[in-house]
């Protein structure tokens, strides 16, 4: 074992003072950052009043909305007439069509009607004098012949009694509202109703094999139109899902992002040469252009969209303009900073040969910056596909407006899910393509 004497130790300390005489910041910097982060977190909890926010949040709505993303409901209403008969009615735009005869609704010999909510474990039997709700292993009769509905026997926890009606919550399967003269049932199904053909289509409610047979070799449903063309029209103009309008708006979003990014790049490119100090040695011009870029970037794309919809009205022109203004500022800053960081030796070498300025830029600058510029532009284009969806919600066109309209109704959450999935697919495709192009231009491998 080597023993270091005092003189040797002092010599080592003098040679490497940064290891033996650390500053206060070096010794306690990490601890101070940790304490500051903790204090800031506590301040954020107090400032946003997070305990109260979490306590008062309607967490039950999360499950409701998510269930509506992947399911739909049918709402038959049973009206008990004065003569004791039961009249079945459906909402005007029922997913079952104008004349439904579902197999989960059975007319019994005694005149009552049994509705299967979820197999045999959850069902409702409606008669002129009482309604029997079966769920969670028990059957609860509710008398409806008197002035107000009355639960016979103990009231289970999943049933709530009000003054004029009784509400039975059957979980995801649906619910039942019972009053004296009517019973309303909400029965939920997994899936998206009428996604291919709506209730007005000639192909509605037909088996897949029959639809294929009609399209391939069946007699024409409309004499002046082939069945294939008719089927495509029915799908494209589906009144419930609006495939044609959704896909058109999605294409508008893509075009908005492409056009706005392209115009922004074409505008920012020459301005960046004037803003770069090493390319244009005019400090006043450099500063004016850089502040101009900062101004365009500092106003959010959403705000630009609000301004332009006021000027040009709602539509994709306002959306493209908002992206164009934002991207001129963003790409102008990125391009000018990229130019200021180039290697000046190739440019000086070409300039020493007496070449014109255009040739100096072409052979001394462009080979260095083109891969970087294209990479940055592709990334911004990919980002703007997402941004175009957001600005569409304020009237700037595209699928964002359709998405906002579906959300505002608070009833078409399956349509919201459909559009969100389409947006995710488009963003994924553009992200993958953009990454592949960027790595190809930069000469690196994609991971």
Q: Token pair of 186, please? A: 């909400």
Q: Token pair of 310, please? A: 């006021």
CA atoms within 13 A on the CB side of 200: 11
Query: Predicted confidence band at 184 (pLDDT cuts at 50, 70, 90)?
Result: very high
Q: Token pair of 38, please? A: 């903790």
Q: How far apart are CA 16 and CA 343, in angstroms?
A: 36
pLDDT value at position 288? Answer: 93
- From the candidate CATH numbers 2.30.110.10, 1.10.3720.10, 1.10.10.10, 1.25.40.10, the one assigned to the domain spanning 243-442: 1.10.3720.10
The helix (run of H) or strand (run of E) holding residue 319 is: helix 316-340
Label the pairing between strands 166-169 and 71-74: unpaired
Q: Give pLDDT tens digits for 368-425.
A: 788 888 888 888 888 888 888 888 877 777 888 888 888 887 778 899 999 999 989 9
pLDDT value at position 363? Answer: 73
Q: How far apart are CA 408 and CA 395, in angstroms?
A: 14
Q: Token pair of 62, please? A: 């999360």
Q: How far apart are CA 268 and CA 270, in angstroms?
A: 6
Residue pointed to by tokens 């002035």: 147
Q: Give pLDDT tens digits for 283-342.
A: 899 999 999 999 999 988 889 998 988 888 888 888 899 999 999 999 999 999 888 888
- Mean pLDDT of the residues in the chain: 86
Query: Predicted confidence band at 280 (pLDDT cuts at 50, 70, 90)?
Result: confident
Q: Give pLDDT tens digits for 220-257.
A: 888 888 999 999 999 999 988 999 999 999 999 999 99
Q: Using alpha carbons only, what angle is made at residue 135 by residues 131 and 141, rounded to the nearest 5 degrees? A: 25
Task: Note whether 146 and 135 are within 8 A (CB).
Answer: no
Q: Using alpha carbons only, what angle is made at residue 347 by residues 346 and 350, rounded to the nearest 5 degrees? A: 85
| Mean pLDDT on 54-74 | 84
pTM (2 d.p.): 0.79
Domain limits of the chain?
A: 75-190, 243-442
CA atoms within 13 A on the CB side of 134: 14
185, β-bridge pairs = 176
Q: How far apart are CA 266 and CA 243, in angstroms?
A: 34
Taking alpha carbons only, the member of 280, 263, 281 closest to residue 325 is 263
Q: How far apart are CA 349 and CA 398, in angstroms?
A: 50
Q: Token pair of 386, please? A: 């997402």
Q: Token pair of 218, please? A: 């069946």
SS3 content of the chain, % helix, strand, coil (to 5): 55, 15, 30
DSSP assignment of 340-401 equals HTS-HHHHHHHHHTT--HHHHIIIIIHHHHHHHHHHHHHHHHHHHHHHHHHHIIIIISSHHH
Taking alpha carbons only, the member of 60, 42, 415 closest to residue 243 is 415
């Amino acid at each position: 074992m080597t023993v270091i004497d005092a003189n040797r130790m002092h010599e080592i300390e003098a040679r490497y003072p940064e290891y033996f005489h650390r500053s206060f910041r070096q010794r306690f910097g990490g601890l101070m950052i940790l304490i500051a982060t903790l204090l800031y977190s506590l301040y954020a909890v107090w400032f946003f009043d997070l305990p109260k926010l979490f306590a008062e949040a309607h967490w039950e709505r999360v499950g409701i909305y998510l269930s509506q993303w992947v399911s739909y409901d049918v709402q038959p209403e049973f009206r008990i007439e004065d003569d004791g008969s039961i009249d079945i009615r459906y909402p005007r735009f029922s997913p079952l069509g104008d004349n439904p005869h579902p197999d989960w609704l059975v007319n019994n010999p005694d005149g009552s009607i049994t509705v299967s909510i979820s197999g045999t474990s959850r069902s409702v039997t409606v008669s002129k004098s009482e309604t029997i709700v079966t769920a969670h292993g028990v059957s609860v009769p509710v008398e409806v012949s008197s002035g107000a509905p009355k639960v016979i026997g103990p009231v289970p926890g999943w049933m709530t009694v009000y003054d004029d009606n009784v509400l039975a919550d059957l979980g995801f399967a649906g619910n039942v509202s019972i009053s004296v003269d009517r019973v309303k049932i909400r029965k939920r199904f997994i899936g998206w109703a009428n996604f291919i053909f709506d209730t007005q289509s000639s192909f509605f409610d037909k088996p897949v094999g029959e639809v294929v047979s009609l399209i391939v070799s069946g007699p024409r449903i409309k004499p002046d139109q082939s069945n294939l063309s008719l089927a495509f029209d029915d799908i494209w103009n589906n009144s419930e899902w609006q495939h044609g309008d959704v896909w058109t708006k999605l294409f508008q979003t893509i075009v908005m992002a492409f056009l706005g990014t392209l115009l922004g790049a074409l505008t920012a490119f020459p301005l960046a040469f004037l803003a770069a100090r090493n390319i244009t040695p005019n400090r006043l011009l450099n500063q004016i252009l850089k502040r101009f870029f900062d101004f365009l970037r500092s106003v959010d794309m959403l705000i630009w969209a609000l301004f332009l919809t006021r000027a040009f009205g709602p539509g994709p022109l306002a959306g493209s303009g908002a992206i164009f203004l934002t991207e001129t500022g963003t790409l102008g800053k990125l391009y000018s900073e990229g130019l200021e960081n180039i290697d000046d030796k190739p440019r000086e070498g070409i300039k020493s040969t007496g070449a014109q300025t255009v040739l100096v830029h072409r052979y001394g600058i462009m080979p260095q910056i083109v891969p970087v510029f294209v990479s940055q532009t592709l990334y911004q284009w990919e980002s703007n596909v997402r941004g175009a969806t957001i600005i569409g919600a304020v009237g700037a066109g595209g699928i964002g407006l359709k998405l906002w309209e579906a959300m505002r109704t608070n009833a078409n959450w399956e349509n919201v899910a459909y559009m969100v999935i389409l947006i995710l697919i488009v963003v994924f495709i553009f992200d993958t393509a953009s990454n592949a192009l960027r790595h190809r231009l930069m000469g690196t491998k994609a991971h």
